[in-house]
Structure 1
Amino acid sequence: MGNKSFLPSFLVGFALVLSLKFANAQMVPAIFVFGDSLVDVGNNNYLPVSVAKADFPHNGIDFPTKKATGRFSNGKNAADFLAQKVGLPTSPPYLSVSPQNTSSFMTGVSFASGGAGIFNGTDRTLGQAIPLTKQVGNYESVYGKLIQRLGLSGAQKRLSKSLFVIVIGSNDIFDYSGSSDLQKKSTPQQYVDSMVLTIKGLLKRLHTSGARKFVFAGIGPLGCIPSQRIKNQTDHGCNEGSNLMAVAYNKGLNSILQELKSNLNAISYSYFDTYALMHNIIQNPATYGFTEVEAACCGRGKLNAQIPCLPISKYCSNRRDHVFWDLYHPTETTASILVDAIFNGPLQYTFPMNVRQLVTV
């Protein structure tokens, strides 16, 4: 009888300790995520005509539920790992939340959408996505809901301590690379300059609606992902044209971030040099525990990149060996390594501070 009464008390006490530990671990009130398939946690599941979906096997094979969730990954993605770092649950997909359920917005929400770009229309080959302009518009709607719930000063105080994560731009470069029309209209540098100018305007809108702490991930070496490597006829080398555009965009983004920091009130940010770290991983895979840097884990054909990761595709038995999960996206292991660097990274990869430092500003 004593044991029966002791067990529930013990469990209640244990649960209380766990909850206190979790509460102490929470470093920010909320995370709002904007971007593309690198951080989409399921918004595209709710888009009826989009082909850019990951709600089928073999995606999610290493996720805790072992099921596809809409993440373009074998498991968790960067949005999940960053939320864990700051002691929050993963921000839910915006399209999964009822507009009336404002409590769901209190710890943040994800607006990210597979196929999305800085420009509207980067999804034309995939049918449907939520471009960054629309994502920012959706956030402005959430901002209004938070003001209704907390009052203007309460909402602004909460948002000023929250993180605004932005991971986008790859699809715009893919769009340019595959479009003779876009190439006729502008040079690669002119196109990248337009990307930077557009995102600058959107960042100003976010600032007007309470955003103060930004986490930016620069574009990685796009020319080295499996879908780009297979375009080289003679070997599996990287596509230097895509890489040069990524470098040019990252340079422009850094420039406007420094400008906005000078001109807008109380902005702080952490810029992550995705390009530098991914390039280092590809050049020195053994240092990070990888053995395969060219081929995708899941797919078919040359480098497993001629046919996407579909239920009919093959997938590798040890995902930890591979840098890339499918023809476009990193494995869960790669995403974890990237977020470790975003959060704790040295100035080599994070500028002017890492996310651990950003949350204390």
Structure 2
Amino acid sequence: MAKNPYSLFFLGLLTYFTLASFPVIVSGQPPLLFTFGDSSYDVGNTKFFSSEFDPATAWPYGDSVDDPTGRWSDGHIVPDFVGRLIGQGEPIPPVLDPKADLSRGASFAMAGAVVLGSQSKTVTMNFGEQISKFVELHKKWTDKERAEAIYMLNIGADDYLNFAKDHPNANLVEQIAHVANVLSRISRELMKLYKSGGARKLAVQSLGPLGCLPIVRQELKTGESCMEMVNFMVKTHNERLSRVLHAMTVPYRGLRYSFFDFNGEILRRINEPSLHGYTDTTTSCCGTGSRNAFGCGYSNVHSKLCSYQKSFLFFDGRHNTEKTDKEIANLFYSGDKHVVSPVNIRDLVGKSVSYLPAQEI
């Protein structure tokens, strides 16, 4: 009896999507995962770095997983989900945890981290200090492990939010100059990560529309509008960062990268909430104020908590809900070229690289 051609088509389609959900592993073992950035990627480093109170270690952070873990979310965050997708069974630990098992990788990200500035002016490790910490520890892993590892980065948000707060009347030239300074430092640190750390596979997340964050709308009283100055700098940053990554592959032919359009995905959700299963994309699930954007996790603030986190895009004034981060991670891992290019993380894992020994500093 002849087979139904439509059945064969749908069977092939099902097979494709089933295989797409499995990690592509080069060495037979899941690649190591290293993450760098700010609070959106922090898995608990902040609580080990400073004795100051860390709101992310208090309820209702972690509410969806029944335990505050130092993540600025009601549950897991993007690197947790990506780690699972590349074959890791447990989330990678914060590098500053003295009991951490670093055999699968580590998170160097920390809340408040900036690209520009020094540690003496902050209570966090800035981006350069995170990279230096990795280079300091790089011999814990073999050249091959570091070459095949995935290095996730999400940094720069605080540089632009702080600039807008400190220079509300900055003109176009000053804004562009600030973007250039941020990108110059990022480029320098990425070269250090490649040359001295042995990194070969970068997974870089673009900055979201920071001017549309609930905390920005609330503090600057923008109403239904976003803060255009911040969004302009972010847009310029993202466009130029894409070019920086491409340009790095010319002198560094062993470098591979994925660049994820986080900005576009968040804007799509803000502008079409019902299409993505949200009822609110401009107000926080946890907090207080006109946008419910301030004070989540603080015992002396009478924060409100929404009844259903999955209906909100943002959990607090500037961080996503677990639902949002899971969707972002899935797109980062296996999305098409409209959202992640030149390859997604799944294909990045499968790309062969040269694992030349890291240079000594």
TM-score range, shorter chain: 0.7 to 0.9
Retained in 1: the 8 A contact 2:210–2:234?
A: yes
Measured in 1, the distance between the counterparts of 2:108 and 2:169 equals 27
Matches within 5 A, 1:3-152: 28-50=30-52, 53-63=55-65, 66-88=66-88, 89-97=90-98, 104-121=101-118, 128-146=123-141
Q: Unpaired runs of 5+ in structure 1?
A: 1-20, 147-154
1:320 is aligned to 2:310: yes
Partner Cα distance (2:38, 2:92) in 1 = 15
Q: Who is 1:6 aligned against?
A: none
After superposition, the C-alpha distances for 1:202-257 in whole angstroms (9 at most, x for unaligned) are: 01111012100000000011111101112454623211111111111111111110
Specify the alignment match of 1:336 in structure 2: 326
CA contact (8 A) 1:119 1:172 kept: yes
Measured after TM superposition, the shift of residue 141 of structure 1 is 1.5
Is the Cα–Cα contact under 8 Å of residues 115 and 122 in structure 1 kept in the other structure? no
Aligned mates of 2:321, 2:180 — CA distance in 1: 31
For the Cα contact (< 8 Å) 2:335–2:344, is it kept in 1? Answer: yes
Q: 1:148-206: CA deviations, max 9, x gaps?
A: xxxxxxx111111110111111011011011139959x711000111111010101111
Q: CA separation of 1:24/1:249 partners in 2, compared to 1, >3 Å: closer, same or farther?
A: closer
Q: 1:265 to 1:299 in 2, by over 3 A?
A: same
What is the Cα deviation at residue 309 of structure 1?
A: 4.2
Letter in 2 for 1:116: A
Q: Specify which structure has the bigger relative contact order, considering alpha-carbon pairs within 8 angstroms and separated by 6 or more residues.
A: 2
Q: Which amino acid aligns with 1:86?
A: I
Aligned residues: 325
Aligned AA (1:144): K
The share of aligned pairs that are identical, in percent, is 27
Aligned residues of 2:119 and 2:125 also touching (Cα < 8 A): no
Letter in 2 for 1:352: P
Q: Does the C-alpha gap of structure 1 residues 267 and 29 become closer, same or farther in structure 2, counting only changes over 3 Å?
A: same
Indicate if the aligned counterparts of 1:105 and 1:142 stay in contact, CA closer than 8 A.
no
RMSD between aligned residues: 2.5
Q: Could you tell me the TM-score, scaled by structure 2's length?
A: 0.84
* Counterparts of 2:221 and 2:25, CA distance in 1: 54
The alpha carbon displacement at 1:51 in A equals 5.4
2:4: which partner in 1?
Answer: none
**1:122–1:246 CA distance, 2 compared to 1 (3 A):** farther
- Indicate the larger mover: 24-33 or 326-335: 24-33
The answer to whether the 8 A contact 2:24-2:349 is kept is no
Describe the SS at the equivalent of 2:291: helix
1:310 positional shift = 2.7
- How far apart are the structure 2 equivalents of 1:33 and 1:320? 25
Asked if the contact 1:40/1:110 (under 8 Å) is kept, the reply is yes
CA distance in 2, matches of 1:254, 1:38: 20
Structure 1 CA distance for aligned equivalents of residues 179 and 261 of structure 2: 17
Q: Is the contact between residue 58 and residue 310 of structure 1 (CA under 8 Å) also seen in structure 2?
A: no
Question: What is the one-letter code of the residue matched to 2:63?
Answer: I
Structure 2 CA distance for aligned equivalents of residues 229 and 121 of structure 1: 28
Structure 1: how far apart are the matches of 2:25 and 2:253? 29
Residues 55 and 297, structure 2, Cα contact 8 Å, conserved in 1:
no
Whole-angstrom CA distance in 1 between matches of 2:131 and 2:225: 37
Equivalent in 164, 170, 174 of residue 157 of structure 2: 170
Could you say what secondary structure the match of 2:58 adopts?
coil
Distance 1:345 1:298 in 2: 30
Q: Which residue of 1 aligns with 2:252?
A: 264
Report deviation, 1:285.
Answer: 1.1
Instruction: Provide the residue aligned with 2:204 in structure 1.
Output: 216
